[in-house]
Amino acid sequence: MYSIIYEDEIGILFKNGKLKKLLRAGKHYIFTWLGENVEVHKLINDVNSKIAVNVLLENEEFKNAVDVIDINEYEICLYYFNEVRFEVLKSGKYVHWKSPFNRKYVKIDLREVEISSDFDKSIFSNPKMAGLFLVHQVEPYEVGLLVKSGKFIRRLEQGRYFFWNQTQSPVVVYRIDLRLKNLEVVGQEILTLDRVTIRLNCSTQYKILDPEKAIFGMENQQVTLHSAVQFALREFTSKEKLDSLLDKKEEISKTVLENLKLREKEFGVEFINSGIKDIILPGEMKDILNTVLLAEKKAQANIITRREEIASTRSLLNTAKLLDENKTLFRLKELEYLEKISEKISSISISNQGNVLDQLSKLVGKE
């Protein structure tokens, strides 16, 4: 019998189960009675024989007719076929027939953390690449910290970064916001020197200067800074009495900021401002202070009233002295009052006894 091998095919001739030779395109006679048989393979397909590939590779002719791709555990291989077909080859051994078809192999070492800038990233849109890479975007107001297997590698400035996704040695990017941050300490209970429990609301602004220290130097930066502000508040207020604290709101803010600035290098930040927003008193203490304040205001009002009364009396006394010493002034004052009285009266009856002015004077009791 015979076997026809086409241009896009190759045959493997076996005799008694052993590889005898490869058959190229053409007509070949097979002597089956002598134990010969042939396997016909498409050159476009991978080598898929009944005989193990490692056994076939011991034959020099077969070895020269195939491409052998060994991929380690820490590698993947991008396999392009005729620039149309694309596959991702994981760790293992792959054997492909050498053929007129254009085959291209791109091995990638996953131990290289970052994907180089010259790598064609358009391939990442292919669904077969899903899960094989990671993308991290660092914004203009951020800085990134690249960590692999728990080890800090380097800083990442603004931009988009691609990394191979490694399950055994994962890549982590910490994105640190460098903008001004606000830290609120709300309802902080503090005992004053005179044993009064008050609550403070404090607001602190800061910026991160040392991202590495902010991430790796403390377990939780927000909690650590919150505690630092609490300690700074206690350090000042515990040495002052309540009355003094109520008058030193600005001084508290200034002292707290000074104490925090002493620890800037420790935290890797710059403290910009710190201020006391509210001092909240217990309900009973608030009632007492309101009572005291009301009493003080009433006393101040009484003092002002007395002061005005004294001033008014003193003015009347001075006027009386002037009128007593100057009869003309007295007469003018008398005429002024008569004029005011006359404005209030609709009609006046005057007799012919005496002059008009004397009669009007009698109306106000002037003899």
Element (H, E) at 57: none
Choose among 66, 68, 74, 73: nearest CA to 93.
68
Neighbour count for residue 229 (Cβ, 10 Å):
24
Residue 107 carries which side chain, given as an amino acid letter?
K
Instruction: Report whether 228 contacts 273 (CB < 8 A).
Output: no
* Structure tokens that stand for 251 in this block: 């001084």
Cα(289)–Cα(297) distance, integer angstroms: 12
Rounded distance between C-alpha atoms, residue 254 and residue 275, angstroms: 8
Positions in the chain whose pLDDT score sits under 70: 167, 282-297, 334, 337-338, 341-342, 344-367
Residues 6+ positions from 105 with CB-CB distance below 8 Å: 67, 69, 77, 78, 79, 80
**Confidence (pLDDT) at 367:** 46
- Helix, coil or strand: residue 78: strand
Q: Which of 188, 203, 155, 177 is nearest to 269 (CA)?
A: 177
Domain limits, the chain: 2-108, 124-177, 181-281, 282-325
Q: 314: burial class by Cβ within 10 Å (0-12, 13-18, 19+)?
A: exposed
Q: Is 133 helix (H, G, I), strand (E, B) or coil?
A: strand
In 3-state terms, what secondary structure has residue 155?
strand
Q: How many CB atoms lie within 10 A of CB 163?
A: 20
Token pair listed for 320: 């009386």
3-class secondary structure, 77: strand
Q: Indicate the SS3 state at residue 150.
A: coil
What is the number of helices (H) and of strands (E) in the chain?
A: 10, 18
Tell me, which fold does domain 181-281 have in CATH? Tetrahydropterin Synthase; Chain A (3.30.479)
Instruction: Give Cβ neighbours of residue 51 (< 8 Å, ≥ 6 apart).
Output: 14, 17, 19
CB atoms within 10 A of CB 145: 20
